[in-house]
Amino acid sequence: MGTTETLAISAVNHWINGKPVAATSGRSGIVTNPATGAVIAQVGFASEEDVNLAVATAKTAALDWRTTPLSRRAEVMFRLRNLIVEHREQLAEIISHENGKTRADALGEVARGLENVEFACGVPNMLKGGYSEQASKGVDVYQIRQPLGVVAGITPFNFPAMVPLWMLSNAIACGNAFILKPSEKVPSSSVFLAELAKEAGVPDGVLTLVQGDKVAVNRLLEHPEIKAISFVGSTPVARYIYETATRNGKRVQALGGAKNHMLVLPDADIAMAADAAVSAGYGAAGERCMAISVVLAVGNVADPLIEAIRERVRCIKVGPGNEPSNEMGPLISREHRDRVASYLDAALAEGATLPVDGRLDPATTGDGYFLGPSLIDNARPGMRCYDHEIFGPVLSVVRVDTYAEALRLINENPFGNGTAIFTQNGGAARQFQFDVEVGMVGINVPIPVPVSYYSFGGWKSSLFGDLHMYGPEGVQFYTRSKVVTSRWPNPGASKVDLGFPQVR
């Protein structure tokens, strides 16, 4: 454990009924600054009773909130949007302090989260139903979408504000009460967002935070008043969340891990492909679910591409995220940093080569959880560095002879979150878009995170459930459809008819 950074370690609490509430379990976790290893906060973990209290207040709030006119709800989202813009630097500072990513990257995260609040401002338009006049003689049929009631989200450490905003914006704008269980490693951004939401006019109980670990999660998964669960995190936990929550009758979208491949065809612009591989491989120290983890170098592109990547990697400045000149910060914890570093030895032992070894001298990094950008060459399926999601600043190059071989590797991979192709050939890119079994595809774009008016989600072991997150599918997820068949006949014309209703 690191040293304490300041005399006062802040206490992070739940947020229930519009105010901070201390945990009653007696259990807690520590939050560290990954750049120094110092303990910066203590977060109280929820007991089952804490979750029950949170759900009870959310249930009461949901009843009232769903009666609030759509334009009033949109107005609240507009105010939240403006407050986040006004406080974006402060939010970015909290993110960077607890997660370690650079301030610039944290600001980018806030901007992408903000998009979801902006999308939610237009929810009245998304909730317009359909109306069919004269579906039968004198009969009209129409469809409406209604909120589910109380819904919950469970989020990972790597996007402390953006992923909560993916969920809470649509959930709340659609008229639900939303309960968030943030990552216990980075809990403070959510508290800041909850304070802003209150200031924006989100009624007490409509946004709730329960801090904690699997005790809180398990209670959320089984609580009968919770109608839907959104999850983002690693694949084993996503699978568990999906299986448990669906068994308990809930609607679930559970987004898991990733192993994103970037395919570089021989006709690609080498400098552009190298820029993209380095940006997407090492940005946020590789702790992005859309990070590029594998470069598939087709044919004779491999040698010049690796050389170009090497040149760029040498120039990356690693250090604390709060120093503006640093481009890459630390990893989230010492254990995670050491686990990521262990893939470098494994790669060498398994026959790969290591053109760039990012292990740093502890004398220069102090107690921070730093690992420099690392590049593995001659990686292959069957090696740990290829088969596992590393989630750190390690890029592996696999040399392949043909497009078909590269495509087969991507399609055989159990993950299917993101992928990218680099080429100057439009026909090849279109063929890739058609062939590839991955949910989000970039064409000369290395991190193809969809804008908020599309939806985000992978395929295969990167997503359990049917609906992707945010955007139109997010609105669908947080509402259920009701179809009304209506007629207003003259009572005098009414008669008994035991036949099955048909169009007349």
Shortest spacing between CB 369 and ligand NAD, in angstroms: 14
Shortest spacing between CB 183 and ligand NAD, in angstroms: 4
Distance CA 44, CA 47 (A): 9
Distance CA 40, CA 249 (A): 39
Our CA dihedral for 165, 168, 170, 172, rounded to 10 degrees, sits at: -140
Contact 397, 264 (CB under 8 A): no
Tell me how crowded residue 3 is: count the other CB atoms within 10 A of its CB.
10
Shortest spacing between CB 387 and ligand NAD, in angstroms: 14
Contact 473, 449 (CB under 8 A): no
Shortest spacing between CB 35 and ligand NAD, in angstroms: 18
- Tokens at 109, concatenated: 């995260």
Shortest spacing between CB 405 and ligand NAD, in angstroms: 25
Shortest spacing between CB 426 and ligand NAD, in angstroms: 29
Contact 27, 49 (CB under 8 A): no
Q: How far apart are the first and last CA of the chain?
A: 76
Catalytic residue of the set 121, 174, 289, 385:
289
Going through 148-225 in order, the beta strands assigned E by DSSP cover: 150-154, 177-181, 207-209
Nearest residue relative to ligand NAD (C-beta): 233
Shortest spacing between CB 17 and ligand NAD, in angstroms: 22
**Closer by beta carbon to ligand NAD, 147 or else 392:** 392
**Closer by beta carbon to ligand NAD, 87 or else 250:** 250
- What letter represents residue 184's amino acid? E
**Closer by beta carbon to ligand NAD, 403 or else 456:** 456
Distance CA 205, CA 88 (A): 24
Phi, psi of 420 (to 5 degrees): -150, 150
Shortest spacing between CB 134 and ligand NAD, in angstroms: 45
398 closest CA partner among 486, 295, 328, 311 = 295
234 closest CA partner among 388, 413, 344 = 388
**Closer by beta carbon to ligand NAD, 257 or else 474:** 257
**Closer by beta carbon to ligand NAD, 119 or else 157:** 157
**Closer by beta carbon to ligand NAD, 403 or else 464:** 464
CA distances to 95, 110, 247, 369 from 193, rounded to whole Å, are 11, 11, 31, 27
**Closer by beta carbon to ligand NAD, 55 or else 297:** 55
Distance CA 267, CA 23 (A): 58
Helices 88-99 & 188-200 angle (0-180, nearest 10): 160
Contact 263, 298 (CB under 8 A): yes
Q: Which residues bind ligand NAD (CB under 6 A)?
A: 154-159, 181, 183-184, 213-214, 217, 232-234, 237, 255-258, 289, 389, 391, 417, 458, 462
Contact 226, 56 (CB under 8 A): no
**Closer by beta carbon to ligand NAD, 311 or else 335:** 335
Whether 174 is a known active-site residue: answer: no
CA 32 to chain centre: 22
Among all chains, which residue has been given the structure tokens 């649509």?
170
CA 311 to chain centre: 31
Catalytic residue numbers? 289
